[in-house]
């Protein structure tokens, strides 16, 4: 039981750290962002949520995701929040599918 509590506290500490990072996103500097394979971020996000996924017996699938110009912590938080909310607010066995596609920004930049 103590191990379970410790893991929960560690996850909460990481979420708080990520929340602080997200709060600073208003000062987002595109120059410091780097190409980021979203498939890798999804894999890490699912690993972080493995307890919740197992508990809910969720089925999670995905299409190949694009490489985007972004900060890894922001994308990790985004995916974990979306998937975590789907797990939390589903009244039956969750079936989650993740997909994405490239799009063009206002100035023709590839935003992912």
pLDDT at position 63 is 96
The 10s digit of each residue's pLDDT in 44-102 is 999 999 999 999 999 999 999 999 888 888 899 889 988 998 998 888 999 999 998 87
pLDDT at position 26 is 47
Q: What does the alpha-carbon distance between residue 55 and residue 102 come to, in Å, rounded to a whole number?
A: 33
Which domains does the chain show, CATH number per domain?
A: 33-98 (3.30.565.10)
pTM of the predicted model, to two decimals? 0.67
pLDDT at position 106 is 43
Q: What does the alpha-carbon distance between residue 107 and residue 43 come to, in Å, rounded to a whole number?
A: 31
Contact at 8 Å (CB) between 110 and 70? no
Strands (E), 4-110: 34-37, 59-62, 67-70, 95-98
The 10s digit of each residue's pLDDT in 23-45 is 665 455 566 788 999 999 999 99
Q: Is 71 helix (H, G, I), strand (E, B) or coil?
A: coil
Contacts of 110 (CB under 8 A, 6+ apart): 69, 102, 103, 104
pLDDT over 50 (residue 112): no
Contact at 8 Å (CB) between 21 and 28? no
């Amino acid at each position: 039981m103590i191990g379970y509590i410790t893991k929960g506290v560690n996850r909460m500490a990481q979420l708080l750290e990520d929340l602080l990072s997200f709060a600073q996103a208003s000062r987002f500097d595109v120059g410091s962002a780097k190409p980021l394979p979203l498939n890798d971020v999804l894999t890490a996000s699912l690993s972080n949520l493995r307890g919740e996924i197992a508990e809910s017996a969720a089925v999670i699938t995905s299409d190949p995701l694009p490489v985007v110009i972004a900060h890894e912590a922001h994308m990790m938080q985004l995916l974990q929040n979306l998937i975590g909310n789907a797990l939390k607010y589903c009244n039956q066995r969750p079936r989650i599918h993740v997909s994405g596609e490239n799009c063009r920004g206002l100035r023709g930049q590839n935003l992912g």
